[in-house]
Structure 1
Amino acid sequence: MEKSICTYGLIPVRSEASERAEMVTQLLFGDTFDILERRTDWCKIRQHDDCYEGWINSNLLLKLSAKEVESWMCGKKWIVPSPFIKLVSEPDKTTHLISGGSAIFFNGEDTNCFTIGNKEFYLSGNSSPLKPAGSIADIAMAYMNAPYLWGGRSFYGIDCSGFTQVVFKVAGLQLPRDASQQVELGSIINFVEEAALGDLAFFDNEEGNITHVGICLGKGDIIHASGRVRVDKLDHQGIYNDESRTYTHKLRVIKRII
């Protein structure tokens, strides 16, 4: 099966082969995927990390050999810890902004360069693969005020489960894409007072479907993407928004993932 690597900061993945179709998720730089089907100007893909499927514009597809993709997939990756960093590509000296959670396989342990296809990229600015990512709280708080975007996985727009997925990916743990899938992981925390940093809190709608997820910060606080990435209070009823003085999400369960 043909495979490739995302070489753009973001590639929208849509529910159908149309620019007007719903964006269900995004590929981040360095994500690898299978090409399941081809149509005029469109490719149906399956992402390797979370098995999510959808359609991308074929103009954004880089043709690579199976050996190149396999080498990238098997290599030890550096996961970009900050919300975004800058890359420069050679030989055209084009600048690329890539998002937190992007994966990079360097040419060597003591270099900031890597190669995909016929292009060589290198880190620009103060970014360094030697700099530690920090705690779950540090990673999550770096996304404060990022706008909510259905299907988004970046600082420029992110949804609730995209937020938890990217934060945990930077921390070294791969989560499924959707909140309804993430809730299947981990062990149940019986009392909200026992929620600790890194626990995931899940919320349901009137039909009982899981529709929202956030990351517990401890001491009754939760960080989540709702309108924007924000910190609110969490209790046994759900998320309480001090600004509107209302409960915005009804708590279903808290799970310990790490």
Structure 2
Amino acid sequence: MTLDRRLTPATDRVALESLAGVIERPAYTPGHPARLTVPLADLMTAPDGRRDRQVNFGADVTVIETRGDWCFVQAALDGYCGWLPAAALGTDLPPITHRVTAPATHVYPAPDMKQRETASLSIGARLSVAGIEGRFARLATGGFVPVQHVGDRPAPDPVPVAESLLGTPYLWGGNSRWGIDCSGLVQAALTACDIPCPGDSDLQRVAFPAVDDIRRGDLLFWPGHVALAMGPDRMIHATAFAMAVIVEAIPDALARIEAAGDGPFLGIRRPALAQPAALA
């Protein structure tokens, strides 16, 4: 059996107990929960290796193996597996109540915007808010963020979420305001609406049903690339063509990508919008 490395919670030495009898490893583990405690971290193919994707502050993971200063984990968001610095993880897991809804925000040591910020968080960062003090949300993990930048309900439409990231620089494997790629943008937009979404474009293409007509919120696919339809004629995507998140006319993008020899158009997929609910 060939398993997708990105989604297989196993190293060459240890696998999750759920894989016993599926793949052979010297040891199996139930794993243990942890949470990202730094603003952003690269999820690596190997300790100190190449970036596959990124995980944002507050991301929950299952730790499968610790090897020196590195932990092999599986992300709860999308099942993606890889290596994170052990120092970036904590085991204090207060309930998640909010997430960052602005493209980015700052964490302050006190509920005062004139204080020097202690960290910067990207859209999608998951927060444990312990209370509200004036115009700031007090985090259970320490620090304060502006209440205007956080929310406790899903967004109703992925398109405005993606539009809020216009101009964000393109970054291969990126998942934040500081740099994002095509599948990272789509995942950020859909996740904000509580629509489960894989991390890479090939996985996204098989996750949603195919359709023939283009509507707002649909996903458009090419080999190694995905865009989010804003309507039947326009799309938004993070593209190496502009090295940024841009809006482009769909007919123009189809012609440009075909002329560049970057592969045929692979079709349209339609995620189903989730029903509004409180964050879990």
Tell me which of 66, 79, 85 is aligned to 2:105: 85
How far is the alpha carbon of 1:247 from its aligned partner?
7.5
Q: What letter is aligned with 2:235?
A: I
Q: Is the CA contact 1:241–1:248 (under 8 Å) kept in the aligned structure 2?
A: no
| 1-structure distance, mates of 2:248, 2:256 | 6
- Which residue of 41, 49, 54 corresponds with 1:26? 54
How far apart in 2 are the matches of 1:246 and 1:115? 50
User: Does structure 1 retain, via aligned residues, the 8 Å contact 2:154–2:194?
Assistant: no
Aligned match of 1:208: none
Say which structure is richer in strand: 1
Shift of residue 219 of structure 1?
A: 3.4
Distance 1:38 1:224 in 2: 36
Matched letter for residue 194 of structure 2: G
The equivalent of 2:137 in structure 1 is 112
Pick aligned residue for 2:237 from 220, 224, 248: 224
The 3 A distance-change label for structure 1 pair 179 and 130 is: closer
Q: CA deviation at 1:218?
A: 0.8
Match of 1:250 among 243, 249, 264: 264
Per the alignment, residue 96 of structure 1 pairs with 119
Partner of 1:140: 162
- Aligned runs of 1:78-227 on 2, under 5 Å? 78-89=98-109, 95-107=118-130, 112-116=137-141, 120-124=142-146, 126-129=148-151, 133=155, 135-190=157-212, 194-204=213-223, 211-227=224-240
Alpha-carbon distance in structure 2 between the residues aligned to 1:82 and 1:247: 36
Alpha-carbon distance between aligned partners in 2 of 1:14 and 1:131, rounded to the nearest angstrom: 31
Query: How many residues get paired?
Result: 233
**Cα distance in 1 between the residues matched to 2:131 and 2:229:** 37
Distance 2:44 2:33 in 1: 18
- With normalisation by structure 1, the TM-score equals 0.79
Residues in 2 aligned to 1:247 and 1:240: alpha-carbon distance in whole angstroms:
10
> Which structure 2 segments of 5+ residues have no match?
1-30, 111-115, 273-280
Q: Any idea what SS the aligned residue of 1:46 has?
A: strand
**1:52 & 1:59 partners in 2: Cα distance?**
19
Q: In 2, are the aligned partners of 1:136 and 1:197 still within 8 Å (CA)?
A: no
Contact 1:80–1:170 (Cα < 8 Å) also in 2: no
Task: Give the TM-score normalised by the residue count of structure 2.
Answer: 0.74
2:195 and 2:271 in contact (8 A); partners too: no
Matched residue, 2:67: 39
- For each residue in 1:159-194, what CA deviation from the matched residue of structure 2 results, as whole angstroms up to 9, or x when unmatched? 11111001111122120111111112332221xxx3
Contact 1:31 1:47 in 2 (8 A): yes
* Contact in 2 for aligned 1:152/1:162 (Cα 8 Å): yes
Map Cα deviations across residues 6-29 of structure 1 (whole Å, 9 max, x no partner).
1221011111111xx210111101
1:4 maps to: 34
- Give CA-to-partner distance per residue, 1:145-171, whole Å, 9 cap, x none: 211111110111111111100111112
1:157–1:249 distance in 2 versus 1, CA, 3 Å: farther
Identity of aligned residues (%): 24
Give distance in 1, aligned partners of 2:72 and 2:153: 36
Q: Aligned partner of 2:201: which letter? A: A
Code of the aligned partner of 1:100: I
What is the SS of the residue equivalent to 1:150? coil
Which segment drifts farther, 34-43 or 181-190? 181-190
Kindly report the root-mean-square deviation, in angstroms, between the aligned alpha carbons of the 2 structures: 2.9
CA contact (8 A) 2:42 2:84 kept: yes
